[in-house]
Amino acid sequence: MNYWLLKSEPSVYSIEDLKRDRKTLWDGVRNYQARNFLQAMTIGDRAFFYHSNAKPPGIVGLVEITQTNQIDPTQFDPSHKYYDPQSNPQKPRWQTVEVSFLEQFTPGLTLDQLKDRYSPEELLVVRKGNRLSVLPVPEPIALRMLRELRGA
DNA sequence: GCCAACGTTGGC
DNA sequence: GCCAACGTTGGC
């Protein structure tokens, strides 16, 4: 099992929204490095749900990858914000995954706390200037975070 | 609202 | 292939 971190702005799609929906297609990623991480995901992987552009930003939940290699339909929708006219339906450029709600953390771990407890080498999301919305989390670090989040 | 970081685009 | 211009992300 691999561990990941997925960023979302809560004003766009929050952990509360996912709790309500139970599952969602993680669409709208338009960065090749992030897409490559999405392609590397396998069913059963876990991902931390991170609220960006939030007050405060931080980890607020855990999700499971329940479907992989899903074509992102928004790339073919001209009315959509994430329409990509250069993507060929015979060879879609953007694939993604389906994620399912596992748990919400209250409290979670704020970015400030993450910076205090983890180095930029251990945890990419605390690295200055990192704008990738999909990131891998090394397993030992993921397990440490889960222990902290669950109050052990 | 500002701005640093950084990815993408396009002229050459 | 270089790189300036531009757009976006996201913390503050």
Query: What is the pLDDT averaged over residues A45-51?
Result: 97
The answer to whether the beta carbon of residue A128 comes closer than 7 angstroms to any atom of strand B is yes
pLDDT per residue as tens digits for the range A33-46: 999 999 999 999 99
pLDDT mean across residues, chain A: 92
From A2-16, A56-70, A78-92, A123-137, the region with the lowest mean pLDDT: A78-92
Q: Which domain holds residue A139?
A: 3-149
The answer to whether the beta carbon of residue A129 comes closer than 7 angstroms to any atom of strand B is yes
- The C1' atom of B8 and the CA atom of A92 lie apart, in whole Å, by 19
pLDDT per residue as tens digits for the range A105-133: 999 999 999 999 999 989 999 988 888 99
Q: Which chain A residues in 7-46 sit with Cβ < 7 A of strand C? A: 7, 9, 30
CA distance A142 to A76: 35
Between A74 and A16, name the one with better pLDDT: A16
- Which 3 state secondary structure label does DSSP give A35? helix
Q: What is the pTM of this model?
A: 0.92
CATH number at residue A35: 3.10.590.10
C-alpha torsion angle, residues A24, A62, A94, A38 (rounded to 10): -150
Domains contained in chain A, number: 1
pLDDT at A61: 96
- The C1' atom of C11 and the CA atom of A56 lie apart, in whole Å, by 10
Closest CA to A58 of A22, A106, A94: A106
